[in-house]
Amino acid sequence: MRIIMWMGCIAAIVSGAPAQGNQVFTPVDIRHVRVGGEIGRRIDVTVENNLLAMDLDGDFLKPFRERTAGSGYIGLGKTLDALARLAYYTEDTRVAKKKDGVVREILALQGPDGYLGFFKEEARLRSLWDIHEMSYLIYGLLTEYELFNNEKALEAAVKGADYIVNGWQAEPERTTSNWDITVYMGATGIEPTLLRLYGGTQEARYLDFCRDFRKLAAWDGLIVSGRWGPIQGHIYAYLSRCLAQLMLYDIAPDEGLWTNTRKALDYMLKGEGLTIIGACGQHECWHNTQEGAANLGETCATAYAIRWWDDLLRREGSALYGDLMERALYNALFGAQSPDGRRIRYYTPFEGPRVYHRGDTYCCPCNYRRIVSELPRMIYYTSDDGIAVNTYTPSTATLTLPSGAVVKIAQETAYPQNGHVAIKLTPASAQEFTLRLRLPRWAAKPEITVNGELWSFEHSPGSFLAIKRNWQSGDTVNIDFAPTLRLVKGRAAQAGRAAVMYGPLVFTLNRAHNPALQEADLRMITIDPATLSGPVPDDSVHPGGLSCSVKAWQTTHWYPQATHDWEVKLTEFTDPGGEMTYFHVPNPNDPALVDDAW
Look at 3-12, 242-251, 433-442, 475-484 and tell me which has the smallest mean pLDDT: 3-12
Whether residue 112 is contained in a domain is answered as: yes
Mean pLDDT of 142-148: 98
pLDDT at 56 over 50: yes
How much is the pLDDT for 373? 98
Question: How far is 114 from 179, CA to CA, in rounded Å?
Answer: 23
What are the percentages of helix, strand and coil residues in the chain, rounded to 5?
A: 40, 20, 40
pLDDT, mean over the chain: 94
Burial of 111 (0-12, 13-18, 19+ CB in 10 A): middle
Does residue 89 sit in the same domain as residue 176? yes
Look at 4-8, 57-61, 163-167, 478-482 and tell me which has the smallest mean pLDDT: 4-8
Whether residue 2 is contained in a domain is answered as: no
Does residue 456 sit in the same domain as residue 575? no
Does residue 188 sit in the same domain as residue 298? yes
Does residue 344 sit in the same domain as residue 398? no
- Minimal CA–CA distance to 110: which of 165, 174, 57, 158? 158
Does residue 274 sit in the same domain as residue 126? yes
How much is the pLDDT for 10? 32
Does residue 281 sit in the same domain as residue 420? no
pLDDT at 148 over 50: yes
Q: Quick count: other Cβ atoms within 10 Å of Cβ 20?
A: 7
How much is the pLDDT for 561? 62
> pLDDT for 525-583, tens place per residue?
999 999 999 999 999 999 999 999 999 999 988 766 657 899 999 999 999 999 999 99
Whether residue 539 is contained in a domain is answered as: yes
DSSP code of residue 60: I
> Taking the model in full, what pTM does it have?
0.95
Does residue 253 sit in the same domain as residue 137? yes
How much is the pLDDT for 563? 76
How much is the pLDDT for 597? 86
Does residue 439 sit in the same domain as residue 524? no
pLDDT at 383 over 90: yes
Q: Quick count: other Cβ atoms within 10 Å of Cβ 178?
A: 11
Dihedral sign, Cα of residue 79, residue 84, residue 86, residue 90: positive
- CATH code, domain with 99: 1.50.10.20
Whether residue 274 is contained in a domain is answered as: yes
Tally helices (H) and strands (E) across the chain: 16, 22
Give residue 75's domain range: 10-378
Does residue 141 sit in the same domain as residue 245? yes
Whether residue 120 is contained in a domain is answered as: yes
How much is the pLDDT for 564? 86
Question: How far is 352 from 521, CA to CA, in rounded Å?
Answer: 10
Share of the chain above pLDDT 70, in %: 95
pLDDT at 426 over 60: yes
Whether residue 4 is contained in a domain is answered as: no
Number of domains composing the chain: 3
- Minimal CA–CA distance to 78: which of 246, 230, 299? 299
Q: Evaluate whether 502 touches 442 at the Cβ level (below 8 Å).
A: no
Q: Evaluate whether 319 touches 439 at the Cβ level (below 8 Å).
A: yes
How much is the pLDDT for 19? 40
Does residue 71 sit in the same domain as residue 179? yes
Contacts of 30 (CB under 8 A, 6+ apart): 8, 85, 88, 89, 374, 376, 377
Mean pLDDT of 160-175: 97
Burial of 289 (0-12, 13-18, 19+ CB in 10 A): middle
pLDDT at 242 over 80: yes
**Torsion angle of alpha carbons 408, 482, 322, 79, nearest 10°?**
70
Share of the chain above pLDDT 90, in %: 94
- CATH code, domain with 420: 2.60.40
Burial of 108 (0-12, 13-18, 19+ CB in 10 A): exposed
Boundary-marking domain end, from 459, 480, 501: 480
Whether residue 5 is contained in a domain is answered as: no
Write the DSSP string, 173-208. HHHHTT--S-HHHHTTTHHHHHHHHHHHH--HHHHH
Whether residue 18 is contained in a domain is answered as: yes
Does residue 348 sit in the same domain as residue 255? yes
Boundary-marking domain end, from 447, 480, 513: 480
Boundary-marking domain end, from 480, 506, 527: 480
Does residue 163 sit in the same domain as residue 209? yes
> pLDDT for 9-32, tens place per residue?
333 323 333 343 345 899 999 999
> pLDDT for 191-222, tens place per residue?
999 999 999 999 999 999 999 999 999 999 99
Q: Evaluate whether 289 touches 319 at the Cβ level (below 8 Å).
A: no
> pLDDT for 440-490, tens place per residue?
999 999 999 999 999 999 999 999 999 999 999 999 999 999 999 999 999
